[in-house]
Structure 1
Amino acid sequence: MKVVTTREDLRAARTGLDDLGFVPTMGYLHDGHLGLVRRARRECAGVAASIFVNPTQFGPGEDLTSYPRDLDRDLSLLEDSGVDLVWTPRVEDVYPSGFATNVQITGVTEVLEGARRPGHFGGVATVVTILLALMRPRQLFVGQKDLQQSVVLRRLVADLGLAEEVVVCPTGRESDGLAMSSRNIYLDDAHRQAARVLSTALRAARAAYASGQRDAATLRGTMEAILAAEPLADVDYVSLADPDTLVELEGPITRAAASLAVRVGRPRLIDNTLLHEDDPGLG
Structure 2
Amino acid sequence: MKICRTIAEVRAVVRDLRLSGQTVGFVPTMGALHAGHMSLVAAAKAENDAVIVSIFVNPTQFGQQADLDKYPRTEEADCAMLEAVGVVAVFMPSVEIMYPDGAETIVETTKLANMLHGLVRPGHYRGVCTVVTKLFNIVGADRAYFGEKDYQQLQVIRRMARDLDVPTDVVGVPTVREADGLAMSSRNVRLTPEDRSAAVVLNRSLIAAETAARTGATIEAIAQTIRDTIETEPRARDPHVDIVQALTLAPVSGRPSGTIGIMISAAFGPVDDPVLLIDQREITL
In the alignment, what sits opposite 1:160? Answer: 164
Q: Deviations over 1:20-63 (max 9, x none)?
A: 11000000000000000001001001101100000000013551
Q: Which residue of 1 aligns with 2:225?
A: 222
- Could you tell me how far apart the structure 2 residues matched to 1:268 and 1:168 are? 22
String of CA shifts for 1:105-128, please: whole Å, max 9, x gaps. Answer: 111111122111111111101100
Conserved 8 A contact 2:30-2:55: yes
Which residue of 255, 273, 283 corresponds with 2:281? 273
Q: Percent identity?
A: 41
The CA distance in 1 between the partners of 2:90 and 2:65, in whole Å, is 30
Distance of aligned partners of 1:62 and 1:244 in 2 relative to their CA distance in 1, 3 Å threshold? farther
Deviation at 1:68? 0.5
1:234 is matched with which residue? 237
Give the whole-Å Cα distance in 2 for the aligned partners of 1:7 and 1:113. Answer: 32
Give the corresponding residue for 2:180: 176
- What CA deviation, in whole Å up to 9, does each residue of 1:206-226 have, x standing for no partner? 11223x224100111111110
Contact 1:20 1:45 in 2 (8 A): yes
Shift of 1:13: 2.2
Gaps of 5+ in 2: none
Residues 136 and 162 of structure 1 are in contact (CA less than 8 Å); yes or no, is this contact kept in structure 2? no
Q: Distance in 1 between matches of 2:84 and 2:146?
A: 20
Unaligned runs of 5+ in 1: 278-283
Counterparts of 1:9 and 1:96, CA distance in 2: 17
Does the aligned pair in 1 maintain the 2:213–2:256 contact within 8 Å? no
Give the corresponding residue for 1:51. Answer: 55
Name the amino acid aligned to 1:232.
Answer: R
The whole-number CA distance in structure 2 between the counterparts of 1:163 and 1:73 is 32
TM-score for the superposition, normalised by structure 1: 0.94
Shift of residue 14, structure 1, vs aligned partner: 2.0
Give the TM-score normalised by the residue count of structure 2.
0.94
Residue 30 of structure 1, aligned match among 26, 30, 34: 34
Distance 1:121 1:217 in 2: 27
* Whole-angstrom CA distance in 2 between matches of 1:62 and 1:250: 38
3-state secondary structure, aligned to 2:28: strand
Mapped to 2, the partners of 1:12 and 1:35 lie a distance apart of: 26
- The offset of 1:233, in angstroms, is 0.4
Aligned length: 276
Shift of 1:163: 3.1
1:196 corresponds in structure 2 to 200
For the aligned residues, what is the CA RMSD?
Answer: 1.3
The question of whether the paired residues in 2 share the 8 Å contact of 1:216 and 1:252 is answered with yes
Quick check: 1:91 aligned with 2:95?
yes
Rounded to whole Å, the distance in 1 between the matches of 2:238 and 2:177 is 21
Aligned to 1:112: 116
